Chains A and B, each alone.
Chain A
């Protein structure tokens, strides 16, 4: 059977994927975003298809239900909420995972028929500030540039973007261009020395939240260098362009000079800029500089917002944010709401914007939301002040959650659970960060009773009496309606126009190749945009909640290379878990002199706390702590960082300040640290602190720490995994609290349990995990089990290249044998020759491993 041409569901790059029904996945060589490349997560997509924990049937009040019953219950819940609270007592919280058609349907239900603006997307957490910045500068939410501008530029500035990990394919395109044109420069502006800094020409370790000051400084510098613009608002903007960067003056001067002197400059910004109480100002401060320098919409030049999710852009296009209407229409432009009301025949159309995410859950917590429908996202984990969000979800009388997985903390709290289609099953379109609309196509049958989200929405609408406006036959019909809407005669001109796609036949829609908007007429395609822009004054404001004596450190949250969101998709994939198998908090060693590397530390903020394993990283900016946001109650209940994150938001975009929360660190003293590898999950309640890590087929890795006496813990944990006819190999040194055990039956490893007072005394887990598939472990190897390493062998080391399973030690050995470039390491070990996501890490190893002189 021929491969199905579809798109990757992970990040905003929107790579094309060729997928076969058996789950084999490769990059689509014809897709303009990736030209055949895939990153580590994309490469492992096939492994996410048959996940345990799929939600296969509707559930109501914890019991399996028919779709009819479940949909009736949803309709009843919303009817009651409308009766009790009016339209503002209903809400939808949706996701950049939805396809444009699902998004469109959800938005139409909320704004058009429930009559509420209360539909917000998790994109609010991701790029709402960029949207708001675009609208202030361009009058419309649009990204002027194209990916190829990153290749054409002579200077690329990454602001708050760990592109190497979060958008690996774009980073590889950039690195390939730099390899071809070594004169091209890369500047990284980030409080952390991230993987993206490997090989960068300049890293500006800016303090969290100071980006506005930096770009204000740049604006003044450009003006002083003679740059001028006729765009409105320059004088007021210059007058407001204040703020100190706190950067080393020499580094700063280099950056200012490079930017001023390089016409082809792209400033790419992402969550590090957006997730801030000054996020919108950051976007505008960046755009202001490009505007003054005349560098917008030119080949190799422009401000470039890159989104986190695969279809954040699609959500923005259909208006599935509380602050926008469909098709880039606005409430505050006279006539636009009326035009939409007429088009939809929706007399109840919401009169104004609804509650943005943080406000929405606050309202739910105050009992003001009677019915809330969450689709394809996990707010119980991802929202700031997440403890309170959990309470709000608990308090909502009718909480509906649509998802493809049952394994989500939000699903746990839902009254009604609706099984959604997952990637590979659903059908529709997505828009990537360079405005390219691509089809996501199904190549697998729907499992169980899972159904498309748009269908569930239409079914509920019909039950509420609105069958006509939702009587679509399929996604093609929805797409045509959406495309036609963008061609509405609009009082103000709009760049966003899909009129040329509004009469696609079903067959044409099915075969639709990637196309960049605007498409005002059939057969045309958009390119770079040069919108009319204005300057926006961006006076510097420090983060909403400053650090101080009680909470002296600034917490930043972010992403790991191989994880996605709240791990619902990537968490169960062992290969993806292998890269960073424990929840960690990174800090500059000098900021934690009393907390050892590898010890457990409690992060305390005025909002909550979390306990994570501390890592000393000299690449961290002083005064900051970095924590990945992925961990959930499923995997590490104590490490859910968003419970500690402040709920401050940007006053314009409503985007939460996930990149700056004042915190303090306290030791979390433990009697013992340890791990248990077992053939089944023993849950997350094994010890005072537990992280559960899927490590293979029927193989689970539990990281633990506890406060009970180690010998007691050892006995208790051994009893949990004991099995008939199995026998232990045991090593015990009670005087030093060292306890190690392996359980075997007929040479087959069933479990490994290691405890020690000091986490550094525990061996790496990788080698032990690799033994579980062995059919028979020989006598000689039995004792090696308790060493955690083969006798006389090199100590196991972390896997760097997950595509080819290459460990750091192997890479270092090849470097020591003379492989002194990425290419030579790749030849010698295959590391970095798959998806390439690990190349920055290999580069780091190259930088620190001495290479022998040629003989």
Chain B
């Protein structure tokens, strides 16, 4: 059997590896658009901050791929699919035949369409090239604005600040990471990042990027002008679904798949950020890897079904541990809070009907797995509620 995996991000690479392991007789091809070997996209912030090298980000070195029998094709963007023929057409018009196809095309960072959005000095934050561009800009020092105070934006801001830039984060909501954090944890995070020299303009919205030949300043809706030689846009992602759509596969926000990650075409699967399961798109690596596992099993002929679990997100900035999972915006949930003012630790647990539905951990995320498990399993916490916020070490359940 010939299996072609398009996209060498974390989901695509994982799926290729699992396929090769399960079906040694199969011919597995992994085609990536980037020139690099498969790397840990999630760790790009470390590269930016100088806490990691490019080499250390590589997750699948060539000898490893070879020993698994995976044919790796870097710098091989796919231009079209010929599903009737069972072939993918590369940008160089090479045709790659498949019996089974896995789409792991990921997503693209959004570039907001205001004036100046395409000026030199305005970069996105998505892949290794983006990081290289930022590092080049940072070399000359100066001022940077990060548009977007979500996970990626903050990681970019911290990385740039670590490189010596004066960074301002422009964010549309009153506190950063509003999808993961409540206002209290957001305030702690703001103050902690402030100590690293990062300023915040929030809530604020950008109306234009000013500059003639290149970016010089960011103009906010309230008229504020923030001078900046580097502008990083980290305002969200858009699933890469053009290839699928143009081949006639049904799509909504992304490529629609069933529980086995199969598209409407039984020979074609989609996983990761380009897939849409039961109306939901994912944006995190852990569920993407699970989907990769499910697709590999399904292709190998095993029963497999992906069940979405609670989302968990963590900010990967050294010295500032932030993690959240589940539903943290339910206004009717009961909240347990744990605050340690001096140690800047904060926890907020959301409960409904005696069960944990969401958790925000700030400052110490060591117990994240414990809470994620409780959220996922929907186990009753009534028996140890008073110790719940203190972590598993303090939970003594009646035997």
Contacts and interface: CB of A to CB of B under 8 A. Distances in A.
B389 interface: yes
A711 interface: no
Interface in B374-399: 385-387, 389-391, 393-394, 396
Contacts of B334: 733-736
A744 B342 contact: yes
Nearest to B349: A733
Contacts of B396: 795
Interface in A593-624: none
A791 B394 contact: yes
B390 A732 contact: no
B393 A728 contact: no
A792 B336 contact: no
Contact of B390 (A727, A728, A735, A783): A783
A734 B335 contact: yes
A786 B390 contact: yes
A351 interface: no
Contact of B389 (A731, A756, A795): A731
Interface string B323-347: 0000000000011111111110100
Given A736-B385, A779-B343, A782-B343, A730 B337 contact: yes
A296 B174 CA distance: 91
Contacts of B340: 727-730, 782-783
B342 A787 contact: no
Identify which of B335, B340, B387 gathers the most chain A CB atoms within 10 Å of its CB.
B340
A730 B334 CA distance: 17
Interface residues of B, number: 21
A779 B394 CA distance: 15
- Chain A: interface residue count, which band? 20 to 34
Interface string A839-853: 000000000000000
B385 A733 contact: yes
A782 B336 CA distance: 17
Given A733-B385, A783-B390, A783-B391, A728 B341 contact: yes
Contact of A784 (B339, B343, B394): B394
A789 interface: yes
Given A735-B334, A791-B393, A761 B386 contact: yes
A110 interface: no
Contact of B336 (A733, A761, A784): A733
Nearest to B396: A795
Contacts of B387: 787
Contacts of B391: 783, 791
The prevalent SS among residues of A at the interface is mixed
A374 interface: no
Contacts of B343: 729, 779, 782
A756 B351 CA distance: 18
A787 B339 CA distance: 13
Nearest to B334: A735
A355 to B, nearest CB: 56
A738 interface: yes
A729 B393 contact: no
B341 A731 contact: no
A789 B389 CA distance: 14
A795 B387 CA distance: 13
Nearest to B393: A791
Contacts of A730: 337-341
A173 B340 CA distance: 54
Contact of B337 (A732, A744, A783, A787): A732
A309 to B, nearest CB: 46
Interface string A776-790: 000100111011010
A289 B52 CA distance: 95
A727 B338 contact: no
Interface in A212-247: none
A727 B341 contact: yes
Given A783-B391, A791-B394, A792-B393, A733 B342 contact: no
Contacts of A786: 338, 390
B386 A738 contact: yes
Interface string A738-764: 100000100000000000100001000
A779 B385 CA distance: 22
A787 B336 contact: no
Contacts of A787: 387, 390, 394
Contacts of A744: 342
A236 to B, nearest CB: 65
Contacts of A756: 386
Given A736-B385, A744-B342, A731 B337 contact: yes
Contacts of B341: 727-730
A622 to B, nearest CB: 32
Nearest to A787: B394
A736 B340 CA distance: 20
Nearest to A740: B386
B345 to A, nearest CB: 8
A738 B381 CA distance: 15
Contacts of A738: 336, 385-386
A672 to B, nearest CB: 14
A732 B388 CA distance: 11
A761 B336 CA distance: 16
Given A789-B394, A791-B393, A783 B338 contact: yes
Interface string A696-733: 00000000000000000000000000000001111111
A675 to B, nearest CB: 15
A213 B342 CA distance: 68
A745 B391 CA distance: 24
A401 to B, nearest CB: 47
Contacts of A734: 334-335
Interface string B166-207: 000000000000000000000000000000000000000000
B362 to A, nearest CB: 13
Given A727-B341, A744-B342, A733 B394 contact: no
A735 B389 CA distance: 14
Nearest to B391: A783
A729 B394 contact: no
Contacts of A789: 394
Nearest to B337: A732
Nearest to A741: B339
Contacts of B389: 731, 733
Nearest to A742: B340
20 contacts: A727-B340, A727-B342, A729-B340, A729-B342, A730-B337, A730-B338, A730-B340, A730-B341, A731-B337, A731-B338, A731-B339, A732-B337, A734-B335, A735-B334, A736-B334, A744-B342, A782-B340, A783-B338, A783-B390, A786-B338
Interface of A: 727-736, 738, 744, 756, 761, 779, 782-784, 786-787, 789, 791-792, 795
Top 5 A-B residue pairs of the complex, sorted by shortest distance between their CB atoms: A791-B393, A735-B334, A727-B342, A727-B341, A733-B336
Given A729-B342, A733-B335, 4 more contacts: A727-B341, A734-B335, A738-B385, A738-B386
